[in-house]
Amino acid sequence: MSFYGKLAGGLISLALIGGSAAYVASAAGNVLTAAEQTAAELSCYVIKEYNGAVALFRDGSEEPLAVYSTPLSEINPVDADLLKEGIRLRGLSEVSRLLEDLDIE
């Protein structure tokens, strides 16, 4: 085989290996993204009205993780209506931010 034939064969091999590596990296990225989405969905919280107060629930749970001392009657009526339906949040940082924004203690 000539030098150019060997060079072409080597370049084709490198291209195939590089393409395979890119595919594996892409597939691994997709798996990681799916795992992150699942983790985010599993760590969902709901802040909603509970016996006239505001409470934090893990999504799907009937028992609150925390009940806050701020009565629903002291919250802006628009926000209170949203809390009656429940506000879904993805993580504790979002929970903290909403509690602070609504001035809930």
The parent domain of residue 9 ranges over 1-42
52 and 36 together in one domain = no
The domain total for the chain is 2
56 and 32 together in one domain = no
pTM, to two decimals: 0.58
Encode pLDDT of 47-94 as tens digits.
Answer: 999 999 999 999 889 999 999 999 989 999 999 999 999 999 999 999
35 and 49 together in one domain = no
53 and 96 together in one domain = yes
CA atoms within 13 A on the CB side of 3: 0
38 and 53 together in one domain = no
Encode pLDDT of 28-51 as tens digits.
Answer: 678 777 766 665 555 699 999 999
Report d(CA 85, CA 72) in Å as an integer.
13
Report d(CA 15, CA 7) in Å as an integer.
12
54 and 83 together in one domain = yes
